[in-house]
Structure 1
Amino acid sequence: MRSAPLSTGKPAYWHAAARILKTGENISEAVLFLKRNGDEPQRLGMVEEALMRGELGDADDVLDAVRDLVVCEDDKEGSAAAKSFLAGWICADVIGRCLNDSGAD
């Protein structure tokens, strides 16, 4: 899979995930969510906000939280590896953007 810049709201957002899902829809709205507070869906931006508020303690917590964000269309061989890859990608991007927003070097 090739990577693409994370750009919220654009059709190319998480195009690798779109390939897994065999769809071109907006992945940020349709696929990525975090189940918390009684399984209420939360968007990726809310994960960033939780991290900035200190509700997710460290990178491991973020990775654990986002591992379940990626939804694959089926359970064919390789989907677990794709989910793990995308979870790491999401985690790195979320943390990186939070660090940039906080002014950290």
Structure 2
Amino acid sequence: MQNVSNFVIKFRIWDGFHMNYSGMMLPISGIPNKNLVVQQFTGLYDKNGVEIYEGDILEVDMSPERPHIRTVIRDADSYQLRFDAYDSGFLFKKEHAQRFEVLANIFQNEDPTFPPR
């Protein structure tokens, strides 16, 4: 059995205009906005100590030639890094997190060269 006592469960919510971070648990069903998108904290931090959430756009330094841009996707019971919706992705592992840098997220991204939503 895995010890989860050190795992922090956090969420952020995109309301269509702002990214909201809260330490409070609120029932989503009681909030009247149907455009809310809840994103879970992966439990990992990038090389700069920034929390990594699903929906974040990362620069992944896994290749000596050049870094790759990937998006954090939650797929069933794991997190994956994918280039786009057609990419099968690769598993998001703790030992690789120091090679990641959070650049943006899919909702507040203004650079069209990043992966599409």
Q: Would you call these one fold, judging by a TM-score over 0.5? A: no
Greater strand proportion: 2
Structure with higher helix content = 1
TM-score, reference length from structure 2: 0.27
